[in-house]
Structure 1
Amino acid sequence: MNWGNKLILVFVAFAGLMFVLVYKAMNTRYELVSKDYYQDELRYQDKIDGKANAAAISQIGVQTDQEHLILQMPKELYGQPLKGDIWLYCKTDAVKDLRLPLSADAEGRQFISKKQLKADKYLLKLSWRAADKHYYTEQDIELNIQ
């Protein structure tokens, strides 16, 4: 094989490699944390204030039983009407995300059925209002659902 044939083989191999890389790049999923990313960033001061308010009270408790993920609201908020949102954000797959309204019972517990969730690592983002104060907290949780 002479040097001209070797040169053609190198160009063909390079073109094939480039084709494979372009094909893989075109079929890769890119997901943003939020569809309204820029609007969320403009409201970031609310999140900072909510974190400061949440740091002044006891933490959210997260427990599991056979059928539920149980969120326990801080004792300081028992008996107060709570309005807010729960977002179980799956970092690896947006299809596994779950958004729910906060509806804690009289003892400050919220039950979330495990049937709505898949086994994975989640970031619990909890935003709520109580007594005209905004609260916000984030917590990493891992669910092993069987």
Structure 2
Amino acid sequence: MKKLNWGVGIVITIACFIGFIMFFVIKMSTDKKYDHDLVTEEYYKQELAYQDQIDAQQNSARLAKNIQVEITAEGIQIMFPSEKKDIKGEVSLYRPSNKKLDLEIPISLENQQMIIPAEKLVEGKYKLSINWKSNETTYLYKKDLQIRN
């Protein structure tokens, strides 16, 4: 049996290392488990409307009593200010790690409250955004939520 010299050993080591790296590159790019979407759809369209969002957030901050959000066993409970009537809008739950788990729900109130059922939510981080309108004034409420089952 013939001995391997240093040159052949180094070439074999480098080839094994390149093979190891290529395996992980292919695995990470093809496996859906490692799919992370960090940007929203229509990013530029949202950026153009950014001043409107700032104005709506300022309107929300000026309220005497703002929206109250609680995470309960039933889901996410959202309580709107009692002095505001005829509320229309949308609740968005943005999941930074997976856009398939994003939710957009129109506001439907019962006694100035709305509940997003726990069955629709997966454990993890969400960015809650409530864009609503009352008496022709727009409001925007944002909050980070951590859902635990």
1:144 aligns with 148
Asked if structure 1 preserves the Cα contact closer than 8 Å seen for 2:38 and 2:96, the reply is no
2:8 aligns with 5
Structure 2's unaligned 5+ residue stretches are none
| C-alpha separation in 2, matches of 1:38 and 1:32 | 14
| C-alpha separation in 2, matches of 1:69 and 1:50 | 22
Structure 1 counterpart of 2:10, one-letter code? L
| C-alpha separation in 2, matches of 1:73 and 1:94 | 27
Instruction: Name which of 21, 36, 40 aligns with 1:34.
Output: 40
Structure 1's unaligned 5+ residue stretches are none
2:76 aligns with 69
| C-alpha separation in 1, matches of 2:20 and 2:48 | 43
Aligned-pair identity (%): 29
Cα displacement string for residues 88-129 of structure 1 (whole angstroms, at most 9, x for unaligned residues): 122222222211001223x31112222222222221110011
Structure 2 counterpart of 1:23, one-letter code? I
| C-alpha separation in 2, matches of 1:19 and 1:42 | 40
TM-score, normalised by the number of residues in structure 2: 0.82
Shift of 1:25: 4.5
Instruction: Name which of 70, 75, 88 aligns with 2:93.
Output: 88
Across the two proteins, how many residue pairs are aligned to each other?
Answer: 142
TM-score, normalised by the number of residues in structure 1: 0.84
| C-alpha separation in 1, matches of 2:10 and 2:117 | 63
Report the RMSD for the aligned CA atoms in angstroms.
Answer: 2.0
2:120 aligns with 116
- The within-5 A match list for 1:7-26 is 7-26=10-29
Asked if structure 1 preserves the Cα contact closer than 8 Å seen for 2:67 and 2:80, the reply is yes
| C-alpha separation in 2, matches of 1:41 and 1:126 | 17
Shift of 1:35: 1.2
